[in-house]
Structure 1
Amino acid sequence: MLERPHTEFIQAQLLPWLRIGPGNARPDAEFKFLSRDATTGGCSTIVRYPPGWRREAIEHLDVDEEFYVLDGEIELNGETFGHDTYGYAPKGANRKTMSTGAGAVVLTFFSGQPNLRGGPGDGGKIVKVDALHMPWDMSLNDPKLAHLGISRKDLRNDLETGERTFLSMILPHSEPPGLKGPQESHPTVEEAYTVNGSLTGPHGTMEPGSYFWRPPGIAHGPFGTRWGCVMLIRFLGGKHVNQWSPTDAPFSFNAPYNPVLPESLAAFACSPWTPPPRY
């Protein structure tokens, strides 16, 4: 699941929609690959379900699945997951019905190749988290990030492995003091998708739909934002720890788009994606 190339960053809008064929986990839906482990098949995707999409069968996956509904709503085992709802289905969790009336777009993460298995599984219960109505945790967890005013909504916290999935909000008009600051790194994988707003760092400005997969030990930052940002972040392969460089790096809101991309994505980032005009 964790052996994926450094991807920082790609705008999902540049990637093509691919149709999912029969026999797969979401047949007749469409998806975009954000990143994938060529060995295990673990992948991060955006799945788009057409209006009226439906499955009725007792089945399960032999891998863990996490998902976050970006738009629309989807029904799973009689539970409705509307926009800004998070779900976690452990390996072997039973699925009886899955459908959408008006369609849905869902950020979806699989811990391995998502092979569909017929019949009941032996996994646990599917977890649902109504992120939209959760309060933000505004406590400061690292003084070196105080200038960003970060707040969090914890969606999943594995007490055994230390892995976390959470929403991170950065306040508008946030920039490092003096337009410089130390760089941070982590002993774990960090993966993130920009849900709304924008965030500027050394590789340019991440707009809604931007995605990165950052392997352990990659120095990054400092960051700033003009009008705020909300990202879904996952730390994988251990507990999230911030490790700081002894020297400062410069910051600029004018940093050009300078991505680090694997060969499979490089062709889709030949020019920066330009967001729609605000006026």
Structure 2
Amino acid sequence: MRPHVELIQENDYVWHSAELVGGEGRASERRLSVDEEDGSSSLRVDFHTDWGRGPGIHHANTEYYVVEGSMTYGGKEIGKGGYVYAPKGVPTDSITFSEGTRILHYREYGDAGFDPVDSLYAPSWADAREEVIVVDTEARTWDAVPVQGPMPGLFIKYLHVDPITGFYTRLVHSQEGWTEHRLAHHPCYEEAYTLQGRMEGNFGTMDVGTYFFRPARVKHGHFTTPEGGTTWLLRSDGELINWYTQNEWIRWGGEAVNYGPGGGRMRWSMSSHDVGRGTPLRDERDLKDIQASIEFQREQGQPDAGFVSHGTGVDKSLIAIAKAVDAADLQGGHGHGPGGGHEHDHDHGQADWGADPRDLEHPDERTDEHSHNVGRGRAWKEGQPIPAPIPSTLPVRSRSTGRWSGDGM
């Protein structure tokens, strides 16, 4: 499984010699995200000379997207926005890149292996099931995103959709003013590289060259889109269903053994609210757009708790704990008024959180082959329990993206 990466600026990362087996030419890669168990990788590749490779079979579902420069596949040249999807185990034609070309390069469910073949008529692997896709994305038009939930203003160009797993790659454009003031999580992973523009969110500023890989069920949102909008290449390993959270909080603590006053014992606790104290507030434009998002949801008849800048106001964890304890007390039969006696059998240390934690998990997450990874994406079906979000307390960040405020932790 890949770690949670959010956010990194690619210019902070070192270059490696590109792992492009069997090619002729020189290229370097930045490793944005890597799964060391199966070889899946998301890479930014620069070609320092003309580079090429003949027909062959990839060991992974492989994608090439031209950020700048040109690519030639099977004799057809495509410039900026050119895209090729080469399925695992399927013979692919020759491919070349001109000197100076910059691409995004993805491998999924396999490593960089490549087996040369004499022609496209070579046999496919027994389990191969998709076909090669070649797209000039610059020639395509934008379609409005059909997903219900967020306010209008997102547009999409589909590049590849796996008809069985739902895995898909697409270009997404957020127009100026598009906002999502809530936090969403999904049953699948999500990753994106910013190609154009800028967006603000709970993990910071996403501008050109920033990248994230977000495991399934990690919360994200509080998005605003400034002037000019923004465009990403975005991928996910399943259907991207939106489940929303508001009034989010996390609190942790313990008892210090030897780091209290004078080196002694001490009870202590912190919260995501504490981490966010002193964080610069959203500017006036952001707050105006956030209010428009709130009003949109209320116009749709959706209950909405509004928005409070992270680290300001009352610590939500304290409010939530007090409510949970009060709810447990009321269910136990002793309120604060007359008749609140103690002739009952319940644990005074309990709190009522409104749901059994067992109802907030995917039914297979403790027993399937990926049970060692809580954040592993799992296909979700209507009628199953909706899994709750998972915490993300230490995502991988690079120096240019600054300190994370803990917003949405």
Per the normalisation by structure 1, the TM-score is 0.82
> How far does residue 182 in structure 1 lie from its aligned partner after superposition?
1.9
CA distance in 2, matches of 1:139, 1:15: 32
In the aligned structure 2, how far is the partner of 1:89 from the partner of 1:195?
A: 22
Larger helix share, 1 or 2: 2
Alignment of 1:150 onto 2:154: yes
User: Equivalences for 1:154-169 in 2 at 5 Å?
Assistant: 154-169=158-173
- Larger-Rg structure: 2
Q: Which amino acid aligns with 1:270?
A: R
Q: Counterpart of 1:116?
A: 114
Give unpaired runs (5+ residues) of structure 1: 274-279
Q: Deviations over 1:235-262 (max 9, x none)?
A: 11x2211011154799825999xx9544
Distance 1:23 1:52, change over 3 A: closer
Contact residue 8 and residue 401 of structure 2 kept, 8 A: no
Distance of aligned partners of 1:5 and 1:22 in 2 relative to their CA distance in 1, 3 Å threshold: closer
1:87 alignment partner in structure 2: 84
Which one-letter code corresponds to 2:115 in the other structure? R
> Counterpart amino acid of 2:31?
F
Question: How many angstroms apart in 1 are the aligned matches of 2:20 and 2:161?
Answer: 34
Report how far residue 97 of structure 1 moved. Answer: 2.6
Distance 1:26 1:190, change over 3 A: farther
Amino-acid identity (%): 27
SS class of match (2:143): coil
Deviations 1:177-219 (A, max 9, x none): xxxx321000100111111001110111111111100001111
The range that moved more, 83-92 or 100-109, is 100-109
- Residue of structure 2 equivalent to 1:203: 203
SS in 2 for 1:132: helix
Cα distance in 1 between the residues matched to 2:19 and 2:190: 30
Say whether residues 1:270 and 2:399 are aligned partners.
yes
Q: Distance in 2 between matches of 1:121 and 1:151?
A: 38
Which residue does 2:139 correspond to in 1? 133
Number of positions where the alignment pairs a residue of Structure 1 with one of Structure 2: 256
Inter-CA distance 117–207: structure 2 relative to 1 (3 Å threshold) = same
Letter in 2 for 1:108: H
Inter-CA distance 246–52: structure 2 relative to 1 (3 Å threshold): closer
Q: Quick one: structure 1 residues 246 and 175, their matched pair in 2 at CA, closer, same or farther if it must change by over 3 Å?
A: closer
Tell me the equivalent position of 2:236: 235
Moved more, 189-198 or 155-164: 155-164
Structure 1 CA distance for aligned equivalents of residues 161 and 215 of structure 2: 20
How large is the RMSD of aligned CA atoms in angstroms?
Answer: 2.8
Alignment check: 8 A CA contact 1:8 1:260 kept: no
1:173 paired residue among 158, 177, 190 = 177
Superposition pairs for residues 176-255 of structure 1, below 5 Å? Answer: 176=180, 181-227=181-227, 228-236=229-237, 238-247=238-247, 252=282
TM-score (norm 2): 0.57
Relative CO higher for 1 or 2, CA cutoff 8 Å, sep ≥ 6? 1
Counterparts of 1:7 and 1:139 in 2: how far apart (Å)? 25
Offset of residue 101 of structure 1: 3.2
How many angstroms apart in 2 are the aligned matches of 1:25 and 1:113? 15
